[in-house]
Amino acid sequence: MNAPIFTHYAAVDWSGASGERHKGIAVAIIGAGDRMPMLVRPGHIWSRMEVLEWLLETPPHTLIGFDLGQSLAHADRGAFFPGWQDSPDTARELWALVEAICAREPHLGVSTFVDHPQASRYFRRHGLREGDLFGAEGQPGGRGRMRVTEHAQALAGCRPTSNFNLVGAGQVGKGSLSGMRLFHRLPREVTVWPMDPLPQQGRVVVEIYTTLAAMAAGRSAGRSKVRNRGDLAVALAALGCQPEVVEEAAAPIADHAADALMTAAWLRGHAGREDLWRPSALTGKIALTEGWTFGVA
């Protein structure tokens, strides 16, 4: 299988926060021949539904990365929710379950799901509320259950967190669950990799981890956040871009925006690597259940 061909590469720094609009959402895009990536609607405060609408209007051969977890751990215990008779068998069925439980919640919110009498048993929630089935062995405590791709992230030098953890600055659990509601709404002609067979052309949505882009730009996992325009210019140059000369290098930029810009550039530079589309640990079963982070070999 050859790597698919794209004309554009986009990155979405996502948010699972409550409410309609979120300063933590940023969207960037770069064309195959562009000098540097551009923010989409700079200064705009996005809603999650607007991101969905924008995605469906992107050029027809765009690779779109979302900084969130596509799914939950499954391989470690053979189920997303061991002991729950409604535990789904695949990631797409998991997205449908989250959507069904949260159907009346606006803005792709997921509070209804994480507070569900049964589902809540598997999550660590705010207020030090930890479900009795949160832990890796089905017991309270610890970091929580990890997907196979998250173990691979750790081996690559990243610092992944469990999608069952909804507490702390580094948590991505609520963002991942809200992303599942968005993925559930995508028309089937939009490929979600690796759940769907990879086409040679078309819109393809992948999971990204913005720290991978920062590390490729020469930053460490602990210093992955870029907060001024001078450092951003250096990072983009390392990622193969030709940014304009920055006259005010110390001028601030939101780290969400910097993450999206760097990751869009990184996607352009790495989407042609066939090995990243065929990770050694990505089995057919894992593809259908847990998904994978693009860029983790």
Does residue 43 lie in a domain region? yes
pLDDT class for 158, splitting at 50, 70, 90?
very high
Average of pLDDT values for 104-117?
97
Q: In whole angstroms, give the CA distance from residue 9 to residue 66.
A: 11
Following DSSP, what letter does each residue of the chain receive, concatenated? -PPP--SEEEEEE----SSSEETT-EEEEEETT-SS-EESSTT--EEHHHHHHHHTTS-TTEEEEESS-SS---TTTTSSSTT-TT--SSHHHHHHHHHHHTTT-STT--HHHHTSTTGGGG-EETTTEE-TT-STTSSS-SS----HHHHHHHHTT-----TTB--STT--HHHHHHHHHHHHHS-TTSEETTTSPPPSSS-EEEE--HHHHHHHTT--GGG----BHHHHHHHHHHTT--PPP-S-TT-B--HHHHHHHHHHHHHHHHTT-HHHHS-TT--HHHHHHT--BTT--
**Domain residue limits at 29:** 8-70+189-277
Structure confidence at residue 246 as a pLDDT band (50, 70, 90): confident
User: In this predicted structure, what is the pLDDT of residue 136?
Assistant: 78
What the block records as the tokens of 274 is 């066939």
The answer as to whether 255 is a domain residue is yes
> What pLDDT is attached to residue 282?
98
Q: Is residue 40 part of a domain?
A: yes
How much is the pLDDT for 261? 97
So what's the pLDDT on residue 138?
61
Section 225-239 average pLDDT: 93
pLDDT reading at 142 higher than 90:
no
Strand partners, 28: 11, 39
* 155 CB neighbour count, 10 Å cutoff: 11
Is residue 214 a part of any domain in this protein?
Answer: yes
Any domain includes 46 = yes
* Residue 147 domain flag: no
Tell whether 24 is covered by a domain: yes
Per-residue pLDDT tens for 200-217? 889 999 999 999 999 999
Cα–Cα distance between 282 and 293 in angstroms, integer? Answer: 10
> What pLDDT, in 10s, does the model give residues 20-66?
999 999 999 999 999 999 999 999 999 999 999 999 999 999 999 99
Within a domain: residue 99? no
Q: Which residue has the tokens 């990155």?
A: 11
How many separate domains does the chain show?
1
